[in-house]
């Protein structure tokens, strides 16, 4: 069972997960032009907290995740809430191409630092957007490795200028970023540190 499978059942019980998603949802709505007739994709949706916060802003949201247990939690929440325009989907875009339509908005939160081939995924996002569509990425600024601690094999956050350049090379334009939230976390050294998050938006 993966790390995220193990945490799925208790994910929504952590107030910090809601606080972070609420801040990101607010920043996303300020930074992009959202149309209630648009369709969106949340990649790495987890239990769907962010998509639930944005459910009244889109005609349909596909909640894509590659954790079976996270998708099960999404499905139960959607069923309980009778939210028919939220569509949970067990899918790994890193390993498989998605060929079932395009989106007006794609958004992620705290996902990209887990992605092994960032450039490949950015290119896939670009291909999955309608012309004029928006990509919104919320993630960690570059950090010293203490956020996850020893053994973490992903990225230690992102240099925002380097990520902007990568997106430019993919074809994105109108790239903007701002700090949208800060996580206070006690690391393995028992130090409480502040880890700021950025929201980076771009247009196809």
The answer to whether position 9 is within a domain reads: no
The answer to whether position 110 is within a domain reads: yes
For residues 8 and 204, the model is more confident at 204
In this prediction, residue 1 has a pLDDT band, given cuts at 50, 70 and 90, of low
Between the ranges 6-15, 105-114, 147-156, where is the mean pLDDT highest? 105-114
The answer to whether position 3 is within a domain reads: no
* Total-model pTM: 0.94
Cα separation values, 100 from 65, 96, 155, 178, Å: 16, 12, 29, 32
pLDDT digits (tens, 9 = 90+) for 35-73: 999 999 999 999 999 999 999 999 999 999 999 999 999
**% of the chain surpassing 90 pLDDT:** 85
Q: What is the CATH number of the domain that holds 71?
A: 3.40.50.150
pLDDT for 7 equals: 75
In 3D space, the residue among 106, 125, 105, 109 whose CA is nearest the CA of residue 166 turns out to be 125
The residue range of the domain holding 194 is 16-203
The answer to whether position 155 is within a domain reads: yes
Measured in whole angstroms, the distance separating CA 162 from the mean position of its chain's CA atoms is 19
In 3D space, the residue among 85, 80, 11 whose CA is nearest the CA of residue 45 turns out to be 11
Q: Look at the chain and report how many structural domains it folds into.
A: 1
């Amino acid at each position: 069972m993966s790390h995220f499978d193990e945490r799925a059942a208790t994910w929504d019980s952590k107030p910090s997960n809601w606080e972070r998603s609420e801040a990101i949802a607010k920043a996303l709505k300020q930074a992009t032009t959202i149309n209630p007739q648009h369709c969106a994709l949340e990649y790495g949706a987890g239990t769907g907290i962010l998509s639930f916060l944005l459910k009244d802003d889109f005609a349909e949201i596909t909640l894509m995740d590659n954790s079976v247990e996270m998708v099960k939690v999404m499905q139960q929440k959607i069923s309980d809430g009778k939210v028919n325009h939220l569509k949970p989907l067990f899918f790994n875009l890193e390993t498989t191409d998605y060929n079932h339509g395009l989106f007006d908005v794609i958004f992620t939160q705290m996902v990209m630092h887990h992605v092994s081939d960032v450039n490949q995924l950015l290119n896939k996002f670009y291909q999955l957007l309608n012309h004029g569509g928006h990509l919104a990425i919320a993630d960690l600024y570059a950090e010293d490795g203490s956020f996850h601690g020893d053994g973490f094999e992903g990225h230690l956050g992102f240099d925002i200028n380097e990520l902007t350049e990568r997106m430019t090379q993919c074809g994105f334009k109108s790239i903007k970023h701002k700090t949208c939230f800060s996580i206070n976390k006690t690391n393995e050294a028992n130090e409480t540190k502040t880890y700021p998050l950025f929201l980076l938006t771009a247009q196809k």
